Structure 1
Amino acid sequence: MYNQPTAGPVDTGRVTMDDVIMKTLGLFALVLGFGAVGWYGADQSETLGLLFVMAWVPMFILGLVIAFKKTLSVPLIVGYAVVEGVFVGAISQFFENQWNGVVPTAALATVATFSGMFLAYKTGLIKVTDKFRRIVTMMIIGYAIFALVNYLVLPMFTGDMFGIGGTTGILISLFAVGLASVSLALDFDMIDRAIATGAPQKYSWLLAHGLIVTVVWLYIEFLRLFARLRE
């Protein structure tokens, strides 16, 4: 017994980097898979609006439940990835039909930004402090409120899907891309802190969920930015 190696995080049921990576890849695969469903389903104009409603509404509700639920629920996180995939596929099809070539450009920009932010975080170029975390969190909350008004309320009166357009709209999209990019650093820091503090292994699902949500947000903001530039 005394000659046995010291128990590691896996033996004690603690979250590890491998856990987070595998859960992230699993959720990402669901987003891509059901993204294809949303993409081909939205190919017909009469089903596009229906898909938006069928995906966005449950995605919004599930997001709130996951955020405020006291206990972690894996089925809810998996369900969120499914409807998120349908939503991303449908909105990608719409943008590609309106502005040909914008989807692969946004996807490439998302991958490049994710890689750049990961390197910047790991090399210490970006350091996540308590003050940094508070400021970014407040900015995210503020932008979320603004986005609900700008992309859901204003279009009803202006007829423009982007709400505020023109040069101001481009500046808004640039700000949103920057905010989503910086949010990745918060996700990386949260993963490191969870591993360092020995969080329960099940927590890796929530970490993976947060990372996927940020990546999808970044991708959609790139879609808006490039579409606005094309306009």
Structure 2
Amino acid sequence: MASNPVFNRFNDDLDKGRVAADQPQYGQFGTPDQQRAAQYGYPGGQQGYPGQPQGYPGQQGYPGQQGYPGQQMGGYPGAPMGQPDLEKAYEAPSATARQSGRMTVDDVVTKSLALFGILLVFAAVGWFVGAANPGAGMALWMGGMIAGIVLGFVISFKRVISVPLIIAYAVCEGLFIGAVSGFFNNAYPGVVGEAVLATLCVFAGMFAGWKFGLIRVTERSRKIFGLMIMGYFLFAIVNFLLVLTGVIDNPFGVGGSGPLGIIISVFAVGLASYSIAVDFDSIQRGVNAGLPEKYSWLMAHGLLVSVVWLYIELLRLFARIQRN
């Protein structure tokens, strides 16, 4: 829960030009007019199959193939275009990102709302199951957390985007969130409402800060942030194992609910908050790069990871403060 490898892997691939390597049809990042020119094969058109000459007017259907002398213009799909057709192609309005199958911000918003809707539905299931049967609730807590971590890493490092896995992750995280929220609400009344409200406020604040340039995301800040996340993730694993094995007799682990524990939680909330700003910046980079529409699922998944992480850290922070 303490890291978001989705956008780390995505940004590394984007910087190295590997993001759409398995989908070469989306590898054209020119203007819509240039891509239309490439499609119809006049000067500046796209290269044909390996070893074929570059296309020019009068070429045959496939990009890069040379037309036969005296070949008639038009007549079937992919046939060479005459001068009037070329002029129409140039004068036609540029295709929108949606029409050309590229990812848009609206796509990411739609997919994000769908995933958060799934998460909330199964969070309600986890909450009520835990309230009716604490043992089953604990099973959902531990099982959902472990399954979510495993699925999160599989999705992050899988070269092909798998929508079913992304949906399964939202289901597992929903069961986990519902079960753990029910437990915290019983142990520390009121903290769930506080954590939900704080999560919404931080999310809105980070978006506004990033949008208006108050919070900047640079290549250097990404690297520093990545190292900090890695360190905190390792700390969280060790801390969890110490509590699980009984070495530390405190549900919060290192620092407990004292000043040190509160400082650790504040630090974690800061990391999770900046992670959301990095997510916004990564989404914008993906839209600007003209990524395929299917990447909107990956962007939405990464945003879900960060928001869930932020909520958990805020829940722990408020519980520590109440217990202190």
Does the pair score TM above 0.5? yes
Instruction: Answer 1 or 2: which has greater helix percent.
Output: 1
Runs of 4+ in 1 over 4 A off after TM superposition: none
Deviation string for 1:74-116 (max 9, x for gaps)?
1100100000000000000000000000000000000000111
Task: Give the conservation status (yes or no) of the 8 Å contact 1:155–1:163.
Answer: no
For residue 147 of structure 1, what is the aligned residue in structure 2?
Answer: 236
For residue 125 of structure 2, what is the aligned residue in structure 1?
Answer: 37
Deviation string for 1:106-139 (max 9, x for gaps)?
0000000011110000000111110011111111
Q: Distance in 2 between matches of 1:34 and 1:48?
A: 12
Tell me which of 126, 143, 155 is aligned to 2:215. Answer: 126
1:71 lines up with 2:160 in the alignment: yes
Q: CA deviation at 1:5?
A: 1.8
For residue 179 of structure 2, what is the aligned residue in structure 1?
Answer: 90
Structure 1: where are the runs of 5+ without partners? none
For residue 58 of structure 2, what is the aligned residue in structure 1?
Answer: none
Task: Give the conservation status (yes or no) of the 8 Å contact 1:37–1:89.
Answer: yes
For residue 101 of structure 2, what is the aligned residue in structure 1?
Answer: 13
Identity %: 51
Q: CA deviation at 1:152?
A: 3.1
Task: Give the conservation status (yes or no) of the 8 Å contact 2:125–2:178.
Answer: yes
Q: Which has the higher contact order (CA 8 A, sep 6+)?
A: 1
Q: CA deviation at 1:192?
A: 0.4
1:172 lines up with 2:267 in the alignment: no
Q: TM-score, normalised by structure 2?
A: 0.70
Deviation string for 1:47-92 (max 9, x for gaps)?
1221123212211211111111111111100100000000000000
- Whichever of the two has the greater Rg, that structure is 2
Q: Distance in 1 between matches of 2:266 and 2:288?
A: 34
Task: Give the conservation status (yes or no) of the 8 Å contact 2:184–2:191.
Answer: yes
Task: Give the conservation status (yes or no) of the 8 Å contact 2:141–2:177.
Answer: no
Tell me which of 248, 253, 256 is aligned to 1:163. Answer: 253
Q: Distance in 2 between matches of 1:58 and 1:115?
A: 29
Task: Give the conservation status (yes or no) of the 8 Å contact 1:128–1:189.
Answer: yes
For residue 116 of structure 2, what is the aligned residue in structure 1?
Answer: 28
Tell me which of 293, 296, 306 is aligned to 1:201. Answer: 293
Q: Distance in 1 between matches of 2:181 and 2:165?
A: 24
Task: Give the conservation status (yes or no) of the 8 Å contact 2:268–2:313.
Answer: yes
For residue 22 of structure 2, what is the aligned residue in structure 1?
Answer: none
For residue 52 of structure 2, what is the aligned residue in structure 1?
Answer: none
Give the secondary structure class of the aligned counterpart of 1:86: helix
Tell me which of 182, 194, 203 is aligned to 1:105. Answer: 194
